[in-house]
Amino acid sequence: MSSGWAPRPAQVRGCGQRPPQLTVAGRARSAQARGHGPASDGPAWQARRQGEDMQLGLIGLGKMGLNMAERIRAAGHEVIGYDRNPAVTDVADLGELVSRLVAPRTIWVMLPAGEPTRATIASLAQLLDPGDLVIDGGNSPYRDAAPHADVLAARGIHFCDCGVSGGVWGRTNGYGLMVGGDAADVRRALPIFDALRPEGPREEGFVHAGGTGAGHYAKMVHNAVEYGLMHAYGEGWELLKASEVIDDPAGCFKAWMRGTVVRSWLLDLLVKALDDDPELSGVDQYTPDSGEGRWALQEAVGHAVPTPVLAAALFARFASRQENSPAMQLVSALRGQFGGHEVRHTE
């Protein structure tokens, strides 16, 4: 989704309509009739369900949202999705989405941070009923959670924030979930959280991190740690490549995959990238950042928590975008002035 994402206004036909109250069995039959019934990997999922199938509205069917919807459907729950893309949406607008859901509704918002999420939550506040629940699962700044909760609470609507990790592999492997909000609201959405998280003990892949904003705060710190881990691997790669005694840098990384203290899923993905192209030929050094590293560093300064690794990783991303660093130009010029050192000039 682009940063200009905004929900389509509800059509008049969508507002105010309420479907008949379906039983749990009826909802399951409805889901199966639409092709959204349990998948063939049912037995493992059946053991994890909380006693009844749920119905979920999911807004934002991009590269994360669409995979999440399919994983939730595979667990036996009904998902009705809305997206601006007509190729993937189940409904025409938010009004129709709300009318298709049985009260009390649960709606998951999976949109870019900022105005797309704010506009959508403001629209939902006008469409939903007291007792409904909205979950913000995007990478919103944690400070946005309280204003979102206040907008909804004024209408009697509940709110949770959920940090989601897993990327494009989450549909198969499951997603790491960090949730903030009231304990009763978190319990209410547990069947959905259980469908999304990895197999195994719930606490290894899911946490109710605290009150409103805690989920996005935990995800912010998670992403900052991710920055540091990736940069450490990057520096190790460059050092192996620079050595005269190392003949197989990619093989060294592969050897670290088992039995070593630096093994991780990130390392597995790095080895996959090197298997595809051992020289990473054609990969541009330009590395963007999506905001969480900056927010985490601001929090570290505010709490006087030393985070030199996280800071270095973030600043390295900034450096990756400079074809010719002004700071290093100045350093080179100064070395020429005080020591007569060679100053190289660009063509």
Q: Which residues are catalytic?
A: 219, 226
Between CA 148 and CA 160 the distance in angstroms is 9
164 Cβ contact partners less than 8 Å away, ≥ 6 residues apart: 64, 68, 110, 137, 170, 175, 176, 177, 196, 219
Opening angle at CA 330, ends 327 and 336, nearest 5: 145
CB half-sphere exposure, 43, CA atoms < 13 A:
0
Give the DSSP H/E element, type plus range, for residue 109. strand 106-109
Structure tokens at 48: 């994890």
Q: What CA–CA distance (Å, rounded) separates 93 from 116?
A: 15
16, 22, 26, 29 alpha-carbon torsion, rounded to 10°: 20
**Is 247 exposed, middle or buried (CB count within 10 Å of its CB: 0-12, 13-18, 19+)?**
exposed
Residue with tokens 């541009």: 284
- The DSSP secondary-structure symbol of 142 reads G
